[in-house]
Homo-oligomer: A and B are copies of this chain.
Amino acid sequence: MSAAARHPLDEVFHPRSIAVVGASSSQPETGWVARLLMAGYTGTIYPVNPRAAEISGLKAYPTVRDIPGEVDYVIFNVPARLAPQVMEDCAARRVRAVHIYTAGFSETGKEEDRLVEERVAAIARAGNVRIIGPNCMGMYYPAVGITFNPLFSREPGTVAFISQTGAGSTRFVYLANGKGIDFSKVVSYGNAVDLDAPDFLEYLAGDPETEIVACYIEGVRDGRRFLEAVKKCLAQKPVIIMKAGLTESGARAAASHTSSLAGSKAAWDAFFRQTGAVCVDSLEEITDVVLVLKYMPCPRGRRVGIVGRGGGIGVIAADICESVGLNVPPFRGETRQQLERLIPEAGAGARNPVETGRSISGAADFYAEGLRIVDADPEIDVILTHIAVDVYGGRHPRLKEQLLGTVEKLADTARNLAKPLVAVLYAGDTVEEVAAVLQARPRLLEAGIPVYSTVEAAARAISRYIDYSARKELMATE
Interface contact A174-B104, CB-CB below 8 Å: no
Choice from B319, B348, B434 contacting A247 with Cβ under 8 Å: B319
**A109 contact set on B, CB distance < 8 A:** 347-348, 351
Choice from B179, B310, B318 contacting A252 with Cβ under 8 Å: B318
* Residue A163 lies at the interface, judged by CB distance under 8 Å to chain B: yes
**A174 contact set on B, CB distance < 8 A:** 390-391, 394, 428-429
* Distance between A436 CB and nearest chain B CB, rounded to angstroms: 10
Q: Which of A339-394 contact B (CB under 8 A)?
A: 345-349, 351-353, 388, 390-391, 394
With contact pairs A316-B168, A348-B257 given, residues A431 and B426 touching in the complex (Cβ less than 8 Å)? no
Interface contact A178-B218, CB-CB below 8 Å: no
Interface contact A438-B429, CB-CB below 8 Å: yes
Interface contact A247-B391, CB-CB below 8 Å: no
Interface contact A312-B257, CB-CB below 8 Å: yes
- A169 and B223 CA atoms in complex are apart in Å by 50
Interface string of A410-450 (1 = CB under 8 A from B): 00000000000000001011110011001000000000000
* Residue A330 lies at the interface, judged by CB distance under 8 Å to chain B: yes
Among A16-24, A138-146, A320-328, the one that faces the other chain is A320-328
Interface contact B253-A394, CB-CB below 8 Å: no
* Distance between A294 CB and nearest chain B CB, rounded to angstroms: 17
* Residue A276 lies at the interface, judged by CB distance under 8 Å to chain B: no
Choice from B175, B312, B394 contacting A166 with Cβ under 8 Å: B312
* Residue A395 lies at the interface, judged by CB distance under 8 Å to chain B: yes
With contact pairs A113-B347, A394-B151 given, residues A165 and B310 touching in the complex (Cβ less than 8 Å)? yes
Interface contact A318-B247, CB-CB below 8 Å: yes
Chain B residue at minimal CB-CB distance from A316: B244
* Residue A282 lies at the interface, judged by CB distance under 8 Å to chain B: yes
**A149 contact set on B, CB distance < 8 A:** 394
* Residue A270 lies at the interface, judged by CB distance under 8 Å to chain B: no
Choice from B108, B311, B353, B395 contacting A165 with Cβ under 8 Å: B311
| Listed residue (A167, A248, A282) with the most chain B CB atoms within 10 angstroms of its CB | A167
* Residue A103 lies at the interface, judged by CB distance under 8 Å to chain B: yes
Interface contact A258-B311, CB-CB below 8 Å: yes
**A257 contact set on B, CB distance < 8 A:** 311-312, 314-315, 348
* Distance between A5 CB and nearest chain B CB, rounded to angstroms: 31
- A200 and B380 CA atoms in complex are apart in Å by 39
**A316 contact set on B, CB distance < 8 A:** 165, 168, 244, 250, 282-283
Chain B residue at minimal CB-CB distance from A282: B316
With contact pairs A165-B313, A250-B318, A256-B311 given, residues A171 and B104 touching in the complex (Cβ less than 8 Å)? no
Interface contact A348-B171, CB-CB below 8 Å: no
| Listed residue (A107, A165, A257, A322) with the most chain B CB atoms within 10 angstroms of its CB | A257
Interface contact A244-B315, CB-CB below 8 Å: yes
**A110 contact set on B, CB distance < 8 A:** 347
Q: Which of A209-243 contact B (CB under 8 A)?
A: 216, 218
Interface contact B166-A310, CB-CB below 8 Å: yes
With contact pairs A249-B318, A351-B256, A428-B171 given, residues A244 and B327 touching in the complex (Cβ less than 8 Å)? no
- A245 and B328 CA atoms in complex are apart in Å by 12
Q: Which of A87-127 contact B (CB under 8 A)?
A: 103-104, 107-110, 113
Interface contact B167-A310, CB-CB below 8 Å: yes
**A135 contact set on B, CB distance < 8 A:** 311
Choice from B167, B252, B349 contacting A330 with Cβ under 8 Å: B252
* Residue A164 lies at the interface, judged by CB distance under 8 Å to chain B: yes
Interface contact B388-A171, CB-CB below 8 Å: yes
* Distance between A53 CB and nearest chain B CB, rounded to angstroms: 27
* Residue A170 lies at the interface, judged by CB distance under 8 Å to chain B: yes
Interface contact A171-B390, CB-CB below 8 Å: yes
| Listed residue (A163, A312, A328) with the most chain B CB atoms within 10 angstroms of its CB | A312
**A311 contact set on B, CB distance < 8 A:** 107, 135, 165-168, 253, 256-258
* Distance between A171 CB and nearest chain B CB, rounded to angstroms: 5
Pairs across A and B, CB under 8 Å, 10 listed: A167-B311, A171-B310, A174-B428, A218-B315, A244-B316, A252-B328, A253-B315, A254-B315, A256-B349, A257-B314
Task: List 20 additional A-B contacts (Cβ < 8 Å) besides A252-B328, A257-B348, A282-B316.
Answer: A104-B345, A107-B311, A108-B347, A108-B348, A168-B316, A170-B390, A170-B391, A174-B394, A175-B428, A178-B428, A178-B429, A218-B312, A218-B315, A247-B322, A249-B327, A250-B319, A253-B328, A256-B353, A257-B314, A431-B438
